[in-house]
Amino acid sequence: MSEKAAFAKHVREMLIREECATARSILTGNLEELTLFSDSLEDFIAKEEKRAVKALLPHAEEDGDFWANHYPYHWQDIIGAQLRQSFVVSLMSATEFHLDWLCRDTAQVVQAAITHEELKGTALERARRFLNAFAQFTAPPDALWEEIGDLQALRNNIVHNAALVDAEHSNKRRLAGVMKRRPGISNPSTGLLKLERAFSEYALATVQRFFDELYAQQKALCKRAASTIGQGHG
């Protein structure tokens, strides 16, 4: 056995024995950090909105329409929306990173002839096809893969189209569906997407469910593969 083959065998056996625990542990820490990030953003937004309202209180009695004209809506509608967009981008970047890692580990466990990166399609499509075809994953269900796809489409819209949903945007129909089905997302004016706290919470919970199901499948795969260690299967 060559040195390269021996190293690959060692890595595979280690992954199987540990049930790919390293990647799973790092994901857990990453999602905890993103939860802290989101909570800190929301605390900041709420605190500054409250501060702005307090500063305006002495002037409120002078005009019956004062709050309609002067309420500091910008903390939610502009600053808050922009900060939540940055959260979605960070969350989906982490999702792509950890999904890629999960596929690489899985490829080593099953000793696949190719990697997910050699398949056609988007990063999400490649991962889905690879895990289903080469590792026989039966979860997550199609609906959850679609939800992650919706989040990725939103991330791409934020990054490449400045969170605008215009008539020519390729994902306009998909994003319109997201706005109907999911909490805390709308485009109340000029096609600009508005994100509220409820959407950040939904997105984070969806990504957590997605990886919970993926890692449960991977753990079961490692348990099945454990019987091959030492039996001449690599």
Domain that holds residue 70: 24-220
Q: Does 192 fall in a domain?
A: yes
Beta bridge partners of 200: none
Residue 73: helix, strand or coil by DSSP?
A: coil
The answer to whether the bond into 140 is cis (omega within 30° of 0) is yes
Query: Could you tell me if residue 169 is inside a domain?
Result: yes
- Output the pLDDT for position 233: 43
Does residue 93 lie in a domain region?
A: yes
Q: Quick one: pLDDT at residue 137?
A: 97
Q: 165 lies in a domain?
A: yes
Nearest CA among 205, 204, 214 for reference residue 88:
204
d(CA 109, CA 111): 6
Residue 18 CA: distances (Å) to CA of 32, 135, 228: 22, 18, 15
Structure tokens given for 124? 């999400």
Q: How far is it, in rounded angstroms, from Cα 141 to Cα 180?
A: 21
Q: Number of folded domains in the chain?
A: 1
Quote the pLDDT of residue 168.
Answer: 59
pLDDT in tens, the chain (234 residues): 788 888 889 999 999 999 999 999 999 999 999 999 999 999 999 999 999 999 999 888 766 788 888 999 999 989 999 999 999 999 999 999 999 999 999 999 999 999 999 999 999 999 999 999 999 999 999 999 999 999 999 999 999 888 887 755 567 888 989 999 999 999 876 678 899 999 999 999 999 999 999 999 999 999 999 987 755 444
Q: How far apart are CA 206 and CA 148, in angstroms?
A: 7
3-state helix, strand, coil in the chain (%, to 5): 75, 5, 20
Tell whether 94 is covered by a domain: yes
User: What is residue 190's predicted lDDT score, i.e. its pLDDT?
Assistant: 67
For residues 170-179, one letter each, b for 16 or more C-beta atoms within 10 angstroms of the residue's C-beta and e for the rest, the string is ebeebbeebb
229 occurs within a structural domain: no
* Model pLDDT, residue 188: 72
State residue 195's pLDDT score.
Answer: 94
| CA 131/CA 222 separation, integer angstroms | 14
Output Rg (C-alpha) for the chain, integer angstroms: 23
Angstrom distances, CA of residue 16 to CA of 13, 114, 217: 5, 19, 13
Residue 185 contacts residue 199 (beta carbons within 8 Å): yes
Q: Distance between CA 186 and CA 180 in Å, rounded?
A: 8
What is the distance between the alpha carbons of residues 93 and 80, in angstroms, rounded to a whole number? 20
- Note whether residue 9 is domain-resident: no
pLDDT computed for residue 192 by the predictor: 83
pLDDT at 173: 85
DSSP codes joined into one string, 218-229: HHHHHHHHGGGT
